Amino acid sequence: MDSSILIIVLSLSVLISYGFDLFSSRFKTPSVLLLLLLGMLTRQATQYFDVQVPYVNAILPTLGTLGLILIVLEGGLDLELHTDRLSVLRRTLLASLLAIAGGTLLMAGMLYLLLNDSFYHCLIAALPFSIISSTVTVQRVDQLSGGQREYAVYESAFASILGIMAYNFLLLSRDSVMSAVWLFARDTFFMAFISLICCFLLLYLIGRINHRIKFLPIISVLFLVYALAEINHLSSLLLILIFGLFLNNTELFIRGRLSLILKNDLFEKELDQLKNLTAEGSFVVRTFFYLILGYAAIPHELVDVDALIVSALFVLIIIGWRWVTLRLTYWGTSGALLWVAPRGLITLLLYLNIPEDLRLQGFREGIPLLVVVLLYLVVMAGIMGSRKVRE
């Protein structure tokens, strides 16, 4: 492909995605659905004109991993650990744990009854569907009340992180649960220690680097340490989470003389710049992930009767269990909050990363994308319906 044409395609993709985002905020239509649809239409166009798009299946997991890192970093940078928020932090943490544990068990039980495969395989297949998408939640909470908005943001941030850790634990427990507990605890403590050292070092660099290019090298260091930890099967995302929490809550960790050494007068301004860079990087990665995902989707898998039935049952379980968790953890009328249970990039990426020998036999490949789409529609309809009731 000619380089000029490639530049045009990439630029148009970002601009169209930005337009979808503006359209979404105005008309409450999920931009992800529009990106997926555009990807599917692009596939039809390339097939019609006999144009080959190479490396689609190779690019998708890489983009997903980059998006995952940026999502966790963005979530960490959004979480504020102040004492006046301890109550909502405890309740949203409990809600996330209940949603992941209960939702996974219920969906795994359903799959076990339908497919009669190993319950362990059913658990691994079900877990990605129990994780709320923090990115989509943040985009959709502007229609909620103040308390509901705060609850949804914290809950989704915790869910993303805990869900990924639970997924890694399940993979470790393939041979022995006790061995998995030991390995998981050891790796978590080791990565927490390494993460704290990296946090102090990177914070020192942020305060001392005077070069106009500052944050891309630091984010590159995070990517590098993440990849090295991933190769060694460590809890690599813990580093990203701790770094984000550390930067956004430095007043809890950095005090006295240490504050004079590690921070400068421009720190808050620079932190805002890092947040903006992370948000924009996440936007670009998500754009191409969903475009390529739509391009890679096989249409007949999305209209498979079995896939549609299982997807609808998953949605019913997710919403039903969410009602239970909100009754236990949310103080007040949940209203539209009940319907804010979207799934997104994390669900799709974790499902794609299930090892081949652990995949559930008979599980239709179109189910993950169908569940994501159906829950986007549920979120949209629920919020619009709640707004009409208030009016």
Tell me what pLDDT residue 96 has: 94
CB 359 within 8 A of CB 368: no
What average pLDDT does range 75-95 have in this prediction?
Answer: 82
Q: Specify the range with the lowest mean pLDDT, choosing from 36-45, 142-151, 323-332.
A: 142-151
pLDDT in tens, 20-39: 888 877 776 778 889 999 99
Which sequence spans correspond to the domains of the chain?
Answer: 62-285+298-390
- Can you tell me the mean pLDDT for 228-239? 73
Determine the pLDDT at residue 252: 76
Q: Where is pLDDT greater, at 65 or 39?
A: 39
Q: Count other C-beta atoms under 10 Å from residue 252's C-beta.
A: 13
pLDDT at 387: 62
Tens digits of per-residue pLDDT, 248-273?
887 777 776 766 666 655 666 777 88
CATH architecture entry for 62-285+298-390: Up-down Bundle (1.20)
**Stretch (H or E) spanning 237:** helix 236-248
Cα separation, 150 vs 89, whole angstroms: 10
pLDDT recorded at residue 39: 93
pLDDT at 208 (0 to 100): 74
* 185-218 pLDDT tens trace: 888 888 888 888 888 787 777 777 777 777 788 7
Model confidence at 60, pLDDT cuts 50, 70, 90, reads confident
Q: What is the mean pLDDT of residues 363-380?
A: 92
Report residue 390's pLDDT band, with 50, 70 and 90 as the boundaries: low
Rounded CA-CA distance 387/246 in Å is: 37
Residue 292: its pLDDT value, please? 92
* Residue 1 confidence class, pLDDT cut points 50, 70, 90: low
Q: Which of 26-40, 56-70, 153-167, 364-378 is modeled with the greatest confidence?
A: 364-378
Lowest-confidence pick of 221-235, 287-301, 336-350:
221-235
Model pTM?
0.88
* pLDDT tens, position by position, 344-355: 888 998 998 899
The single residue listed with the structure tokens 């914070």 is 203
Radius of gyration of the chain (CA): 21
CA distances in angstroms from 132 to 117, 161, 186, 284, 331, listed in the order given = 26, 10, 27, 21, 20
